[in-house]
Amino acid sequence: MNTKTFNDTFLKACKGENHGHVPVWYMRQAGRSQPEYRKIKETHSLFDITHDPELCAYVTKLPVDQYNNDAAILYKDIMTPLPFIGVEVDIKSGIGPVIDNPINGLSDVEQLGEIDPEHDVQHVLDTIKLLRTQLDVPLISFAGAPFTLASYMIEGGPSRNYHKTKAFMHAEPEAWQRLMDKLAKMTIDYIKAQIQAGAQAIQLFDSWIGAVSVADYKRLIKPVMVRILSEVQTEDVPLILHGVGTPHLLSEWKDMPVDVIGIDWRTTVSEARRLGINKTLQGNMDPSLLLAPWPVIEAEAKAILDEGMESNRFIFNLGQGVFPEVKPETLRRLTAFVHDYSSEKKQQKG
């Protein structure tokens, strides 16, 4: 284990325990905005990096070392387990995940297999084990949630409207339920293996769930989410649920078996609290503002912190991921501001 003192501020915030400053990490903090990463990508694909535990650990740890963040998130993709159940995924630059054999009906769903984590994603587990010997902050790992994974599997790639997916939910109810069951089993097995390898928190990315209505969510998606979260909750690590464009779903999320709810810039911390969410909140700076002058960034961060620090249950993050144009120096400066401002404010409160 690293000889430096272990920084458990993030884990304390997940549990609502007292801590000295507001913890901060950034979604997609490892990767596209870092020149060291872009240099690696000149000769290595995402597949190459994630299948080389030492290189993947380096990429994962790099932003922690550069920005002084309070948590690391494993460098990989939500699509990682899908090829092992029979989904042909190609991550295309500038496009995202593209699937050549999209789901069209029940027969396609029935052909999907099961994942054997110890065999299929051993490279992921080995990277987690390696990072636990290198990091002095908690390691977050993650999985994609069933709706978001299904949207790629049905649409064949990224979508702006999810027309095919939402039509499939209603037109093929048996196939949809079977698909949810299969993806739930895969996700549970995948998450448990990552926790057993040493992951200290798990984030479930339901990135595109904001596209569905409350009624559809309650009937067609929430039951499978509760099943997944309930089964992995027994592993006793913090569980984070995050999506984009989800203000209308927060009232459904507040009673789900998660420790942390991620919100984006469409919902303020105060608004989430008024909905009765007493769990730890994570968010919620608009990543677009990272291109603005520093006084704008500082003012926004201060406003978010002033709301978030009404409770110990707050983690500073972005409402969505870091994008390539963001300068590493901006993230370094933002992290330092969050630490300094929140530490001073906590000291003033006594």
Name the 3-class secondary structure at 138.
Answer: coil
| Structural domains in the chain, sorted by start | 8-349 (3.20.20.210)
**Residues in Cβ contact with 28 at an 8 Å cutoff, skipping those fewer than 6 apart:** 321, 322, 323
99, 261, 131, 10 alpha-carbon torsion, rounded to 10°: 160
- This prediction's pTM: 0.96
Helices (H), 198-316: 214-216, 222-233, 250-253, 269-274, 294-308
Selection from 120, 49, 53, 119 nearest residue 83 by Cα: 120
**Known binding positions for substrate:** 28-32, 47, 77, 152, 207
User: Residue 170 burial (CB < 10 Å; 0-12/13-18/19+)?
Assistant: exposed
> What is the pLDDT at residue 235?
85
Judge if the upstream peptide bond of residue 312 is cis by omega within 30 degrees of 0. Answer: no
> What is the pLDDT at residue 256?
97
> What is the pLDDT at residue 1?
47
Selection from 216, 252, 256 nearest residue 240 by Cα: 256
User: Residue 295 burial (CB < 10 Å; 0-12/13-18/19+)?
Assistant: exposed
Average pLDDT by consecutive 10-residue portion of the chain (350 residues)? Answer: 80 96 96 93 93 97 97 96 94 87 96 97 98 98 98 96 97 98 98 98 97 98 98 93 97 97 97 97 97 98 97 96 96 98 89
Per residue, what are the HEC states of 55-90?
HHHHHHHHHHHHHCCCCEECCCCCCCCHHHHCCCEE
188 CA to centre of own chain: 16
Task: Give the Cα separation of 193 and 81 in Å (integer).
Answer: 12
- What stretch of H or E contains 342? helix 328-349
Task: Give the Cα separation of 107 and 55 in Å (integer).
Answer: 39
